[in-house]
Chain A
Amino acid sequence: ELKVEQNPLFLSMQEGKNYTIYCNYSTTSDRLYWYRQDPGKSLESLFVLLSNGAVKQEGRLMASLDTKARLSTLHITAAVHDLSATYFCAVDIRKGGSEKLVFGKGTKLTVNP
């Protein structure tokens, strides 16, 4: 059974600081997503990582993928309050003609002034 583990699950940080969220998964996949969820809201796509060594950046967030290590990271640079949200990684799994996303449990990020 595929497992997707995120850590930490809770992260409280000060504005201006840097931090990294880790996402480990237990089976091979060549596609990994990061989503953001604000309280009471749905999931917003942030990044899709398609190959080993892929790196994507948007503003203060940068995501990377190492398919050999089965590890993705989401790095936060100089955090600001607006980044407070829950972040999910999700591994794309194909089986036959079907596909689905398997999600980590999420990292709840709180950025304090």
Chain B
Amino acid sequence: GAGVSQSPSNKVTEKGKDVELRCDPISGHTALYWYRQSLGQGLEFLIYFQGNSAPDKSGLPSDRFSAERTGGSVSTLTIQRTQQEDSAVYLCASSPQWRSTQYFGPGTRLTVL
């Protein structure tokens, strides 16, 4: 079946611009996660959505980062006023329920010039 999809696959932007990254989880998966992978910091948790519960935003690095999940499915991660240190691969994952294997999408490579 279809896996987690993310778009765009690559995004190049100028410092100070806003960007939106999209994630389509596996159909029927109730949990959705965002992670960031960078050379310096490795893989870091950003945010967790589970069903209709309030998201866990504890991993968001600053208030320039926000995310939403509409209709319990698609999620968008928004970064406002991008900075060069935001350059990384942003990975989305979904799982069928709480505490089960997370399946990762291909990621969006963000480059901030």
Contact = CB atoms under 8 A, between A and B. Distances in A.
B101 A98 contact: no
Interface in B48-89: 48, 50, 53, 56, 58-59
A45 B101 contact: yes
A106 B107 contact: no
A42 B99 contact: no
A98 B102 CA distance: 14
Contacts of A1: none
A41 B106 contact: yes
Contact of B33 (A35, A44, A100, A104): A100
Contacts of A35: 104
Interface residues of A, number: 25
A110 B26 CA distance: 32
Interface in A31-61: 31, 33, 35, 41-45, 48
A105 interface: yes
B91 interface: yes
A105 B42 CA distance: 6
A99 B104 contact: no
B105 interface: yes
Dominant SS among interface residues on chain A: strand
B101 A43 contact: no
A102 interface: yes
Interface in A9-51: 31, 33, 35, 41-45, 48
Nearest to A88: B43
Contact of B48 (A43, A44, A98, A104): A98
Interface of A: 31, 33, 35, 41-45, 48, 88, 90, 92, 94-106
Interface of B: 31, 33, 35, 42-43, 45, 48, 50, 53, 56, 58-59, 91, 93, 98-99, 101-107
21 contacts: A35-B104, A42-B91, A45-B101, A45-B102, A48-B101, A88-B43, A94-B99, A95-B56, A96-B56, A97-B56, A97-B98, A98-B50, A98-B56, A98-B58, A99-B99, A100-B33, A100-B48, A101-B102, A102-B45, A103-B42, A106-B42
